């Protein structure tokens, strides 16, 4: 972490995570492809579940981001006893979060769907799907917590194996449980949910086993454990802004679904877009997962040049990935939608949607990396401010105003407009954090 050439280190840390997240994105897409073969109402139900599912992931991943950054910095300072305590407290708060979402799944699924659609079949499909995903979500929180422990000590290949195995498990079980193959009961949309949670459980179990067997830098023990409010506070100091930043995405998605409700097939198109864009964004998030511990470690070790070079390399790779995403959606929008059994209405709304929204990718790669830099340096609040401004104060208001025209194509332009605002704010805060923190790294030594 402190001596390997930066570009080589970044690739060795990031590539396994990028590959595993590509597999994760692929299974998200294939999951919806299988569901679309039930009918379009089932596909719409899965699309409408996204805001609450993404909120669950926001809490799990955001907490883990705080855990990862705090743990990597502590390991960089060679304080191994404190690192073990941080890991135990991080696992504890992940499981407390699971209990909250299990209760949400039981009591909030029905009103959540009722607020978004009047179509009874979509509601019924959705409540079945979302209840299973939330009540059995302990696999998500286990997987995320223990994978981040592996990442914080540089074992990203093991984290890749856990994610990849869970995703492959989901892919195999999806058609079997949805359509009743190989003697299994035909479960329909419930089968999609069960396949998802079983895949997450497999990943979680593997992540626990890998930590116990291979993660020698950490010795996690809950013997005589008591929550340490000071350590939990430090985890959440970085984690809460990350949670809020990702949760804002849930609010944005929910709000956008309400705006799009009056346009034919628009909600389904929006859900399909999120599945497709994950294939582009997930590798960038994998890049970030490799970048954050490198920056946090070298910040703790007071190595400024390595911090700066890591940032520059990460931005370059992220922008390159996003340009590839633009090319795919501009050239092959109909073919991409065709994977989801798209009819004439879905294609009519979806083709211009993909071509317009993907223009925001030109700016998104830079913004995502810079936001993670803030988190790695303990200033996640900057990322939170940018995310709130982009999604709540620009994207949704602009989308709503454009929707008043009655032309859904105008609504999609809110995405590139919001991303331009994000670029400006990200650059401002990057210059500020460079002046206040990065430029002073190593001075005390």
* CA separation for the pair 66, 374 (Å, rounded): 12
Model's pTM, two decimal places? 0.82
* CA separation for the pair 442, 445 (Å, rounded): 5
The DSSP secondary structure of 87-117, one letter per residue, reads HHHHHHHHHHHHHHHHHHHHHHHHHHHHTT-
* Structure tokens that stand for 378 in this block: 């303990």
pLDDT score for 444: 56
* CA separation for the pair 374, 395 (Å, rounded): 22
**Residues 306 and 2 sit within 8 Å (Cβ to Cβ):** yes
What is the phi/psi pair of residue 219, to 5°? -125, 90
| Below-50 pLDDT ranges, the chain | 445
**Residues 442 and 434 sit within 8 Å (Cβ to Cβ):** no
* CA separation for the pair 426, 421 (Å, rounded): 9
**Residues 29 and 107 sit within 8 Å (Cβ to Cβ):** no
What CA dihedral angle connects 129, 132, 138 and 139, to 10 degrees? -60
pLDDT score for 98: 96
- Listed residue (249, 9, 2, 293) closest to 148, CA to CA: 293
């Amino acid at each position: 972490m402190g001596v390997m050439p930066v570009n080589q280190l970044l690739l060795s840390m990031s590539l396994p995570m990028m590959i595993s997240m590509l597999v994760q994105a692929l299974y998200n897409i294939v999951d919806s492809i299988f569901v679309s073969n039930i009918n379009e109402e089932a596909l719409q139900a899965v699309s409408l579940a996204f805001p609450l599912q993404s909120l669950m992931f926001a809490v799990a991943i955001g907490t883990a981001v705080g855990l990862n950054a705090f743990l990597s910095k502590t390991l960089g300072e060679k304080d191994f006893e404190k690192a073990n305590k941080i890991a135990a407290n991080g696992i504890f708060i992940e499981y407390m979060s699971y209990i909250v979402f299990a209760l949400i799944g039981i009591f909030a699924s029905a009103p959540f769907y009722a607020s978004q659609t009047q179509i009874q079949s979509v509601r019924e499909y959705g409540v079945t799907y979302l209840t299973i995903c939330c009540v059995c979500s302990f696999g998500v929180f286990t997987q995320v917590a223990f994978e981040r422990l592996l990442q914080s000590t540089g074992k990203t290949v093991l984290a890749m194996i856990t994610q990849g195995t869970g995703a492959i498990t989901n892919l195999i079980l999806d058609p079997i449980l949805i359509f009743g193959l190989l003697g299994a009961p035909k479960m329909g949309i419930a089968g999609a949910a069960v396949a998802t949670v079983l895949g997450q459980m497999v990943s979680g179990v593997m992540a626990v086993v890998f930590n116990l067997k291979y993660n020698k830098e950490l010795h996690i023990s809950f013997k005589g454990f008591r929550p340490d409010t000071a350590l939990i506070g430090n985890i959440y100091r970085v984690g809460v802004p990350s949670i809020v930043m990702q949760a804002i995405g849930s609010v944005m998605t929910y709000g956008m679904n309400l705006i799009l409700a009056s346009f034919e097939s628009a909600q389904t198109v929006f859900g399909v877009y999120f599945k497709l864009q994950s294939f582009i964004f997930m590798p960038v998030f994998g890049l970030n997962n490799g970048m954050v511990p490198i920056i946090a470690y070298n910040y703790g070790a007071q190595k400024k040049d390595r911090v700066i070079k890591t940032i520059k390399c990460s931005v370059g790779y992220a922008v390159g990935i996003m340009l590839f995403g633009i090319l795919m959606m501009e050239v092959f929008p109909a073919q991409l939608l065709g994977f989801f059994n798209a009819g004439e209405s879905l294609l009519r709304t979806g083709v211009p949607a993909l071509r317009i929204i993907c223009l925001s990718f030109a700016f998104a790669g830079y913004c995502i990396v810079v936001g993670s830099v803030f988190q790695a340096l303990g200033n996640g609040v900057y990322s939170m401010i940018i995310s709130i401004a982009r999604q709540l104060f620009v994207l949704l208001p602009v989308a709503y105003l454009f929707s008043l025209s009655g032309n859904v194509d105008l609504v999609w332009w809110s995405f590139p407009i919001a991303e331009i605002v994000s670029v400006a704010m990200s650059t401002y805060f990057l210059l500020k954090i460079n002046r206040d923190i990065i430029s002073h790294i190593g001075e005390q030594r």
